[in-house]
């Protein structure tokens, strides 16, 4: 989340980014494992998502319910929808910090958003 205050962050350090349980203030990385300066940190993203094709439950019900009456329900058996599942792993390493978090996927665009945020953090870490 961009521009929100994290729990435990003081008003003198506004939250710039929040990825899972990693919070990045102006020049500080705050994690449950400890804190580290943002400058010189190393960021990595691993995409553990996959796209699966599933049959919607309603299509199965319609196909089974109409099959004994006539063959109208047969086409419903072939209806498929695509769903994204899995998580995105974000790792950060600093001077005295090694931490990773797994962020559940909420859709295909969510992966691109997390990658964009990590790219911005890499730029700020220079």
Q: What pLDDT is recorded for position 5?
A: 41
Which tens digit of pLDDT belongs to each residue from 52-103? 888 888 888 888 888 777 777 778 778 888 888 899 999 999 888 899 999 9
Q: What pLDDT is recorded for position 3?
A: 34
Which tens digit of pLDDT belongs to each residue from 24-58? 988 889 999 889 998 889 999 999 999 888 888 88
For residues 67 and 123, which has the higher predicted lDDT (pLDDT)? Answer: 123
Indicate the pLDDT class of residue 6, thresholds 50, 70 and 90.
very low
Q: What pLDDT is recorded for position 15?
A: 62
User: How many whole angstroms separate alpha carbon 22 and alpha carbon 33?
Assistant: 10
Residue 22's nearest CA partner among 98, 119, 120, 105 is 98
Residue 4's nearest CA partner among 27, 12, 20, 14 is 14
CB proximity list for 41: less than 8 A, separation 6 or greater: 29, 92, 93, 94, 97, 121, 125
User: How many whole angstroms separate alpha carbon 36 and alpha carbon 40?
Assistant: 10
């Amino acid at each position: 989340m961009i521009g929100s205050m994290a729990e435990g962050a003081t008003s003198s350090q506004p939250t710039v980014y929040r990825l899972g349980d990693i919070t990045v203030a102006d020049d500080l990385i705050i994690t449950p494992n400890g804190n580290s300066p943002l400058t010189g940190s190393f960021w990595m993203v691993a995409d553990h998502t996959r796209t699966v094709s599933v049959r919607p439950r309603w299509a199965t019900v319609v196909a089974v319910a109409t099959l004994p009456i006539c063959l109208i329900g047969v086409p419903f058996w072939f209806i498929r929808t695509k769903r994204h599942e899995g998580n995105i792993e974000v790792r950060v390493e600093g001077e005295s910090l090694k931490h990773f978090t797994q962020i559940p996927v909420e859709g295909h665009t969510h992966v691109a958003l997390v990658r964009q945020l990590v790219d911005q953090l890499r730029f700020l870490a220079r």
